[in-house]
Structure 1
Amino acid sequence: MSSLESNIRRVLDTLLPRIQLRCQSSSQPVILGITGLQGSGKSTWASKIVQLLATEHNLRTVTISLDDLYKTHDDLIAQRNKYPGNKLYRTRGQPGTHDEQLAAQFFKELKGYRGDGELKIPSFDKSKFNGEGDRAPKEQWHTITAKPDVVVFEGWCVGFRPLSAAAVEEKHRLALAGKLPVNTPANHKLEHLLQVNESLKRYCDAFMGPQHFDFMIHIDTEDVRNVYKWRLEQEYKLIEARGTGMKDEEVAAFIDGYMPAYELYLDGLRKGFFDAESGRQVRVVLDKERSVGKVEEL
């Protein structure tokens, strides 16, 4: 067994008794959030957890990614045109670039689904429009015909919660003064950060706040600058496999698009997604080499 699989099992075993109890006591599926930094291996964690829950614990498990809830290509273009000065909206990714109505409706239907008929899971095709992406045709969406026991919902900003306008302003001030780890909020106007923050507030109200989850796994690191190294290593592997990929400076620019949110919202997630309720969140802290340094139960 690889050390990665061993660590995944260790974390899953921490939550498993509670997940099983919740499955037995509720008619609704358990919603397990998995959130992690770019390059941390979040997708690998999610797919392995789905496999383990299904094959070793006989729990019917499905997964959905926040990426599958993006707006259509036309709506992404409209979003970009609506805020032409906001660099954070030039590409998909940030809160505000997902279809909030689709997400809220899907999770509402999911929680009420009892295996009566078919339920389709939204899908987004990132290859369309030269990589800008578009929603996949509905006939290509994955279909389930039985009520799932567990739904794994993974995404890079799953677990982030909005700040007050004053707190965003303070983070922006600290970045301008060079007092944050990378200071990327300083690369953006305060009003643009507040636009994303307002979108995140709507997300949390509609489908992504703690009231919509049962458990959360957070893959983190003590030094957020490690993300640049991890994502670069991933790109080198892609280039080795495909023969093409992003240059080093393009990878850094890609991460720069996510880093302002990390610097704004990670502190809140580290304090606990479920506020005073303990035992529902596990924080996995990776070192620079992506080895698990510690596991915290919050």
Structure 2
Amino acid sequence: MTALAERLLARGRPLAILGIAGAQGSGKSTLAQAVRDRIGARGVPCALLSIDDLYLTRAERETLAARVHPLLRTRGVPGTHDVALGRRIIDTLARGEATALPRFDKSADDRMPPERWTSAPAGTRLLILEGWCVGARPQADAALAPPVNALEAQEDRDGRWRAHVNAALAGDYRAFFARIDAVAFLAAPDFGVVERWRGEQEDGLRARGGAGVMNPAQIARFIQHYERLTRHMLADMPGRADLTIRLRADRSVAAISPLPSPSGI
């Protein structure tokens, strides 16, 4: 992964953007932090942005839920991020300027106030953008018709929610993800392991005394919001990611598959 970042930096552009994608609990944040620390230790100004920190505020999602579909109240799927804010951050960094980076408090389910945001330094050369849906492409319209789980079958009977998510991917998110220079994909062995991985994340939060920790029933419902796109990415991303890291159920690495890049990375 560090080698991929170094190849991007070797292009000599003012700002290189490395995307890291993968299902919940796959280790994206840990990997992103390791790459940032290793590149930063060599004196290269780096910044790390999670797409989770771009979530719309709770009030904005309440408005979206009332206007479009109640399921959009729940953070996570495309359509629940402030993509315009993400693009402004990239534009600012590309100009060589310092910029504030938003933070989202998952325990409060809301964006932190600006005084608690972090910052990216002036002259940042590498931005690492990590998140579960980073680089995702929309599905074909025909694929949206059959529900993939009970949540879709019972709470999105007419398909409005999943159609809105898909349209967001085809619109603002496509332009946002197009700014990424290379994508690394952490491929779970299957979707079935995601519930266990998410449960382990919640156990960690519980051990640290975090607020808003979900119980097993809440986790099972929550991950259904992500199931459709996670399954789609597991099928689609390995064929086009610049680097695919296939994981076992214990998150150990089963295989690494670099793809030749037409852009010459």
Q: Taking structure 2 as the reference length, what is the TM-score of the superposition?
A: 0.86
1:146 and 2:107 matched = no
In the TM superposition, residue 126 of structure 1 has moved relative to its aligned partner by 3.4
- Residue 31 of structure 2 is matched in structure 1 by 45
In the TM superposition, residue 35 of structure 1 has moved relative to its aligned partner by 1.1
Tell me the distance in 2 between the aligned counterparts of 1:125 and 1:16: 28
Q: 1:114 is matched with which residue: 96, 99, 107?
A: 96
- Residue 207 of structure 1 is matched in structure 2 by 176
In the TM superposition, residue 17 of structure 1 has moved relative to its aligned partner by 4.3
In the TM superposition, residue 158 of structure 1 has moved relative to its aligned partner by 0.5
In the TM superposition, residue 184 of structure 1 has moved relative to its aligned partner by 6.6
In the TM superposition, residue 296 of structure 1 has moved relative to its aligned partner by 0.9
Per-residue CA deviations over 1:242-276 (Å, capped at 9, x if unaligned) read 28743222221222221122123432212214xxx
Q: Which runs of 4+ in 1 moved over 4 A?
A: 182-187
In the TM superposition, residue 42 of structure 1 has moved relative to its aligned partner by 1.2
8 Å CA contact 2:151–2:221 kept in 1: the answer is no
1:72 and 2:57 matched = yes
1:133 and 2:110 matched = yes
1:162 and 2:138 matched = yes
Return the letter of the residue paired with 2:100: K
Tell me the distance in 1 between the aligned counterparts of 2:204 and 2:168: 34
In the TM superposition, residue 122 of structure 1 has moved relative to its aligned partner by 2.6
Tell me the distance in 2 between the aligned counterparts of 1:241 and 1:260: 31
- Residue 291 of structure 1 is matched in structure 2 by 252
- Residue 239 of structure 2 is matched in structure 1 by 271
1:259 and 2:227 matched = yes
Distance change in 2, residues 1:141/1:16 (3 Å): closer
In the TM superposition, residue 160 of structure 1 has moved relative to its aligned partner by 0.7
- Residue 103 of structure 2 is matched in structure 1 by 123
In the TM superposition, residue 123 of structure 1 has moved relative to its aligned partner by 2.8
Q: Taking structure 1 as the reference length, what is the TM-score of the superposition?
A: 0.77
Tell me the distance in 1 between the aligned counterparts of 2:138 and 2:122: 35
8 Å CA contact 2:137–2:174 kept in 1: the answer is no
Unpaired runs of 5+ in structure 2? 260-265
- Residue 262 of structure 2 is matched in structure 1 by none
1:194 and 2:179 matched = no
Distance change in 2, residues 1:285/1:114 (3 Å): same
8 Å CA contact 2:20–2:28 kept in 1: the answer is yes
Unpaired runs of 5+ in structure 1? 1-10, 176-181, 274-280
In the TM superposition, residue 145 of structure 1 has moved relative to its aligned partner by 4.0
The sequence identity of aligned pairs, in percent, is 31
In the TM superposition, residue 222 of structure 1 has moved relative to its aligned partner by 2.5
- Residue 263 of structure 2 is matched in structure 1 by none
Q: Which structure has more helix as a fraction of its residues? A: 1
Distance change in 2, residues 1:243/1:114 (3 Å): closer
- Residue 18 of structure 1 is matched in structure 2 by 7
Distance change in 2, residues 1:248/1:205 (3 Å): closer
- Residue 184 of structure 2 is matched in structure 1 by 217
Tell me the distance in 1 between the aligned counterparts of 2:208 and 2:115: 31
SS in 2 for 1:34: strand
Superposed CA RMSD: 2.3
Distance change in 2, residues 1:106/1:243 (3 Å): closer
Distance change in 2, residues 1:229/1:143 (3 Å): closer
SS in 2 for 1:35: strand
Q: 2:68 is matched with which residue: 74, 78, 83?
A: 83
Distance change in 2, residues 1:141/1:132 (3 Å): closer
Moved more, 144-153 or 236-245: 236-245
8 Å CA contact 2:199–2:216 kept in 1: the answer is yes
Distance change in 2, residues 1:43/1:234 (3 Å): same
Tell me the distance in 2 between the aligned counterparts of 1:107 and 1:137: 20
